[in-house]
Amino acid sequence: MTKSILLVGVGGQGTILASKILTLGLMEAGYDVKMSEIHGMSQRGGSVSSQVRYGDRVMSPVIEKGKADIIVSFEKMEALRSLDYLKPDGVLVVNNEEIPSMSVITGEEDYPEDVLDEIKAHVEARVVDATRMAAELGNEKAANMILLGTIIKSMGLEHIHWEKILEDNIKPRFLELNKKALKAGMEAV
């Protein structure tokens, strides 16, 4: 049975590294894996998403609406935007982070205050203060590893040797921070 993981956020939040680590771990564990990303215009402050699918044999690299087993959103508004991709009984993890878009900055529209309420009205979302937790660990950029940790725990993937994958793919000076962040994420859900 193919499982589908959707990572969403804003360009620059580190979704690509998180999904890279995730897919390498899944491959090491013997799964067939496919991942799809859209590059290009989206890098310049736009919405970004990484779609990861794994199982015995994966066909489509893209996730259909209503088919994601888990969505991990690096930003509140992006969680709401992607909500129709979630299975009705799927897991939603939201980083409690608000990033204004250009239309908000220039005053064309307001960032609604009740985004989390709107999400919670439909699903049992797990809200994680990943950015704050990462800052406390030493660097808020490690929020992506905290959120990866929530995926690992939620999908029951703790048996994979994640520390080894991190060692092979993270620069030595950031390694300890990332290991701590991953562990903190697994404990946060």
Partner 1 sequence: MKTLMTGDEAIARGAYEAGVRHASAYPGTPSTEILENLATYKEIYAEWAPNEKVAMESAIGAAVAGARSMVSMKHVGMNVAADPMFTWAYMGVNAGNVIVTADEPGMFSSQNEQDNRNYAKAAKLAMLEPSDSQECIDMMKAAFELSETFDTPFVIRMTTRVCHSKSIVELSDRKEVPLKEWTKNPAKYVCLPAMAKNLRVKLQERMEKLAAYSETSPFNRMEMGDPSVGVIASGICYYYAREVFGDKASYLKLGFTHPLPAGLIKEFCSKVDKVYILEENDPYIEEFVKQQGCDCIGKELFPYTGEMTPDVIRACVGGKMPETIEFDRSKLIRRAPTFCAGCPHRGLFYRLGKRKDIMISGDIGCYTLAASKPYSAMDSTVCMGASISLGHGAQRAFNLGDSGRRVVTVLGDSTFFHTGINSLINTVYNKSNTVNIILDNRITGMTGHQENPGTGFTAKGEPTTLISIEKLVKAIGIQHVYVIDPNNLALVDETLDRCLALDEPSVIITRWPCALKKFSQADKEEFAGMFSTKNKVDQEKCIGCKACLRTGCPALSYDKASKKARINHAQCVGCDVCAQVCPKDAIVKED
Binding to partner 1 (CB under 8 A): which residues in 26-85?
Answer: 27, 32-47, 58-62, 64-67, 77-78, 80-81, 83-85
Nearest approach, Cβ of residue 77 and partner 1 (Å): 6
Q: How far is the CB of 135 from partner 1 (least distance, A)?
A: 11
Buried b (16+ CB within 10 A) or exposed e, 30-41: ebebbbebeeee
Q: By the 8 A CB rule, do 19 and 7 touch?
A: yes
How many residues form the binding site for partner 1 (CB under 8 A)? 60
- Residue span 78-117 as binding mask against partner 1, x where in contact by CB under 8 A, dash where not: x-xx-xxxxxx-----------xxxxxxxxxxxxx-xx--
x-or-dash pattern for partner 1, window 153-172, by CB under 8 A? --------------------
Residue 155 to residue 72: CA distance in whole angstroms: 12
Angle separating helix axes 15-28 and 143-154, nearest 10 degrees: 40
Residue 165 tokens read as 């994958």
The answer to whether 85 touches 20, Cβ cutoff 8 Å, is no
Q: Which member of 5, 7, 21, 24 binds partner 1 (CB under 8 A)?
A: 24
Report CA-CA distances (Å) from 41 to 10, 32, 38, 44, 75. Answer: 12, 29, 9, 6, 19
The residue (of 121 and 156) whose beta carbon lies closer to partner 1 is: 121
Query: Minimum distance from CB of 65 to partner 1 (Å)?
Result: 5
User: What's the rounded Cα separation, in Å, for the pair 83 and 85?
Assistant: 5
Nearer to partner 1, 27 or 175 (CB): 27
Residues within the interface to partner 1 (CB under 8 A): 10-11, 23-24, 27, 32-47, 58-62, 64-67, 77-78, 80-81, 83-88, 100-112, 114-115, 118-119, 121-123
